Amino acid sequence: MVAMNGSYHGKSFGSLSLTFSPKYRKSFGPLVEKVSFSPFGDIETLRSTVNADTGFIILEPIQGESGIHVAPDGFLQDVRKLCDEKGILLIFDEIQSGLGRTGKMWAGEHWNTTPDIMCLAKGIAGGVPMGATLVRPDILACISKGEQSSTFGGNPLSCAAGTATIQALTQDRLVENATKMGNKFREGLDRLKEKHRIIREIRGKGLMIGVEMKFEVKDILFDGITNGILFLYSGKNILRLLPPLVISESDIDKTLEVLDAVLDREEKRRNV
Ligand SMILES: Cc1ncc(COP(=O)(O)O)c(C=O)c1O
């Protein structure tokens, strides 16, 4: 099994074994054996990491938890080619990046790359707990009915919420909205970067945006909450912006206005 440096796939035993950060892993060893990690975006190292026993390569097309790192152009296509050459399954974890968040239904579409297996959750039922694993039919044929069931699996409430969410995504054109609002957000953030020296870098696609700061963002988070905006973080110095896909232009204007004032205060506090 090969996963990427910086990966986050969850905290249950199997997914934790594929999650990179020692911070999450350290209390739960021993984890599943025979997992290797390879730098995200580096096809040559990945090529030398796989061997005849490699069953799958798993990656997030845009790494979320580790700070919104977008796969470099060409990387996903190269990984797909490597998997096809060597008979390795390719798994995309689109739990954070999928279902329209990046302006495409699946983030892998930005690079025209289709995995063999795809993991989905988070946005899939609009906040009601649900997860799904999509697999190619020939892979599905390897397990029989009932082998992958669970108490709450397939429960009617989550399935109804999932159906309604997918309908809203398509009928209300929320994927297109993610592109449009993402571009507007990005333009505004780029303007803030010109003005505020504590912003180091802005990256992402659609409504999956990371704003890396030169300092810890803890005070920015609290200041945001006090002023009605709930920012998320990644590590100590990255703000993660994952707004709902229904966000409007005026919500973005308001967010940028609050962030501008929050950054002014932060710069004063830090004397920059
Ligand atoms: C890419 C990705 N995979 C999986 C998960 C699921 O993680 P958890 O088991 O902590 O809910 C997350 C949650 O942040 C995620 O971002």
Question: Which tokens is 1 given?
Answer: 């099994």
Is the CB–ligand 1 distance for residue 10 below 6 Å? yes
The CA distance from 16 to 8, in Å, is 8
CA angle 11, 234, 255 (to 5 degrees): 125
pLDDT score, position 146: 86
102 SS3 class: coil
pLDDT at 235 over 90: no
Asked whether the beta carbons of 213 and 189 are under 8 A apart, the reply is: no
Q: How far away, in angstroms, is 66 Cα from ligand 1 center?
A: 11
pTM for this one? 0.96
pLDDT digits (tens, 9 = 90+) for 127-165: 999 999 999 999 999 999 889 889 999 999 999 999 999
Beta bridge partners of 212: 201, 238
pLDDT score, position 149: 87
Is the CB–ligand 1 distance for residue 7 below 6 Å? no
Is the CB–ligand 1 distance for residue 94 below 6 Å? no
**Domain residue spans in the chain?**
2-171, 174-270
pLDDT at 79 over 90: yes
Homologous superfamily of 174-270 in CATH?
A: Aspartate Aminotransferase, domain 1 (3.90.1150.10)
Q: How far away, in angstroms, is 197 Cα from ligand 1 center?
A: 32
pLDDT digits (tens, 9 = 90+) for 20-65: 999 999 999 999 999 999 999 999 999 999 999 999 999 999 999 9
Question: Which tokens is 169 given?
Answer: 């995504």
Beta bridge partners of 208: 205
Q: How far away, in angstroms, is 13 Cα from ligand 1 center?
A: 13
Tell whether domain 2-171 is in CATH 3.40.640.10: yes
Beta bridge partners of 238: 212, 234
Of the chain, the end-to-end C-alpha distance in Å amounts to 46
pLDDT score, position 145: 87
